[in-house]
């Protein structure tokens, strides 16, 4: 009998994991993957290293795909534009919103590289159209920011400097702050260090913190617009499969907003689950069991808890 597959051993391992997790987190558990972790609390901004004015910063090309997000899109725009990054190309590709988004965008038109309101074939298609207008190339940096999320203040300078100092790194992402409709914190994701193998099992990469070099995007053909929910996971998997170097940075680069109409909540159990299963089957080559999923999730939760414990003691790891 293989003891590693014993139900008794599996149960004991889970009990041990839970004890260690509780010890690491104390009274403030921050389970990776959970969106609502605690009652709303004041937002605590990230603190980045001071920028180096002597560095030549790369161009950052950023697109916001938008549709019917008038309550949030101004905060999204301001989170980008107020950073004052000197070499920024930023555009909004809206699918034809009728909720007042147009009047908000008009107020920022002179600060945007482009603004278009036109029908599209979904989020991935809107992002692709936006990047076609910005025309990023080579080592220029790319990202998209959904119209209800925000960047942390200072992220663009931090990212620009990181890529300038680390020419062998192709893709980066970081930790996530979770906000409610009123910009109050309801949780934080402490993301474990990147491993391509883990990416085949789970997508815990916060999309709003993801930045990459344009040459990577071109090499794999951009986004697959057939995906309506998991286009970012598919994109990351193809980047990893192509051998690009991906790193997780120990900073809270962006904030993910939770609200009743967001796609993550409305589509996760329908389109989302179908696309997630399709990607797991493609990358792992077989269906996975609930036990395998649990064991791998426990490992990621434990690493996340350790990173949170170190962070509270002033150590970024």
d(CA 79, CA 96): 22
> What is the domain extent for residue 66?
60-311
Residue 4 within any structural domain of the chain: no
pTM: 0.91
pLDDT recorded at residue 102: 97
What sections of 91-195 are H helices per DSSP? 101-107, 123-134, 155-165
pLDDT recorded at residue 2: 42
Residue 213 within any structural domain of the chain: yes
Residue 181 within any structural domain of the chain: yes
Residue 287 within any structural domain of the chain: yes
pLDDT recorded at residue 261: 73
Inter-residue contact 63 to 130 (CB < 8 Å) = yes
Number of domains in the chain: 1
Residue 135 within any structural domain of the chain: yes
Q: Could you tell me the CATH number of the domain that includes residue 203?
A: 3.90.550.10
pLDDT recorded at residue 154: 98
List of the chain residues with pLDDT < 50: 1-4, 27
pLDDT recorded at residue 19: 61
Residue 34 within any structural domain of the chain: no
pLDDT recorded at residue 272: 87
pLDDT recorded at residue 31: 80
Long-range contact pairs involving 81-88 (C-beta distance under 8 Å, separation at least 24): 81/108, 81/111, 82/153, 83/151, 83/153, 83/154, 83/155, 83/156, 83/157, 85/57, 85/60, 85/156, 85/157, 85/160, 86/57, 87/57, 87/58, 87/59, 87/60, 87/160, 88/59, 88/60, 88/62, 88/156
pLDDT recorded at residue 1: 39
Residue 255 within any structural domain of the chain: yes
Residue 5 within any structural domain of the chain: no
**Rounded to whole angstroms, what are the CA distances from 132 to 126, 227, 314?**
10, 19, 42
């Amino acid at each position: 009998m293989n003891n590693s597959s014993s139900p008794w051993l599996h149960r004991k391992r889970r009990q041990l994991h839970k004890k260690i997790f509780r010890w690491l987190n104390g009274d403030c558990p921050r389970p990776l993957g959970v969106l609502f972790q605690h009652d709303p609390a004041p937002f605590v901004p990230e603190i980045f290293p001071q920028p180096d004015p002597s560095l030549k910063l790369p161009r950052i090309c950023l697109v916001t795909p938008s549709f019917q997000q008038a309550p949030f899109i101004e905060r999204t725009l301001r989170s980008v534009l107020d950073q004052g990054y000197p070499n920024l190309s930023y555009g909004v590709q809206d699918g034809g919103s009728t909720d007042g988004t147009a009047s908000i965008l008009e107020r920022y038109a002179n600060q945007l590289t482009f603004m278009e309101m036109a029908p599209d074939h979904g989020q991935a298609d809107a992002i692709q159209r936006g990047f076609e207008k910005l025309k990023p190339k080579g080592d220029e940096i790319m990202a998209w920011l959904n119209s209800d999320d925000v960047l942390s203040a200072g992220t663009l300078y931090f990212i620009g400097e990181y890529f300038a100092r680390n020419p062998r790194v192709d893709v980066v992402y970081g930790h996530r702050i979770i906000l409610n409709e009123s910009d109050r914190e309801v949780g934080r994701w402490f993301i474990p260090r990147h491993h391509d193998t883990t990416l085949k099992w789970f997508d815990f990469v916060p999309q709003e913190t993801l930045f990459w070099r344009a040459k990577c995007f071109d090499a794999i053909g951009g986004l697959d617009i057939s995906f309506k929910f998991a286009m970012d996971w598919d994109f990351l998997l193809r980047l990893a499969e192509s051998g690009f170097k991906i790193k997780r940075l120990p900073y809270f680069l962006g904030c993910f907003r939770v609200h009743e109409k967001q796609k993550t909540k409305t589509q996760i159990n329908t389109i989302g689950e179908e696309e997630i299963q399709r990607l797991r089957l493609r990358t792992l080559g077989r269906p996975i069991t609930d036990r395998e999923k649990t064991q791998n999730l426990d490992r990621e939760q434990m690493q996340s808890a350790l990173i949170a414990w170190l962070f509270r003691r002033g150590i970024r790891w």
